[in-house]
Structure 1
Amino acid sequence: MAAGVLATFVPHARRRRQRRDEAWAAARSAIEAATIRRDACATAVPEADDLLARAEAIAAEGGGADSAEHAGRDARRAGRLWREAVGE
């Protein structure tokens, strides 16, 4: 019975860990890209600043894949706002 539980649990745990790691890699990439866009933008965009700050706070707290996806969404939205501000 224990072997059956392990045979089910181990692959599930591995997939969950992989999903979390991939989500955090994407979130960190989005935060980095948004930071670069912020630095390249001469115009102040308060909403984008707030979104990036929230994404960075979520990243600092860590968490699972859902937290990473939320941080990534916020960072990508901030990057879009800065792109719009410079006319891209």
Structure 2
Amino acid sequence: MFSRSEIMSAAWAMYRRHFAARPSLTFKLNRSEFGFYLATAWRNAKAATMTGAERRKEAIVNQIEALSFKTLRYDTAPMRRALESQMSAFSA
């Protein structure tokens, strides 16, 4: 089970570091930016509980989803087939 208080603390720490890196900004809660750091903290907590094979499978899924954002300059069909063949090796 995940420790929600640790995840929230990690998100706040990342958010504060963001403002420490940009001293010209005044500290004001920006919900969308904090939401990004909260999602990142959840992703990090989830990755910490995964095994190496599960992490690789998650990375392949993310790469397949990212193919839809490539420009038409790229032929994504062979890339998708290669990633799906790697994915099928996990389920076999």
Superposition TM-score, scaled by structure 1 size: 0.35
Superposition TM-score, scaled by structure 2 size: 0.33
Q: Say which structure, 1 or 2, has more relative contact order (CA 8 Å, 6+ apart).
A: 1
Give the number of the structure whose residues are more often helix, by fraction. 1
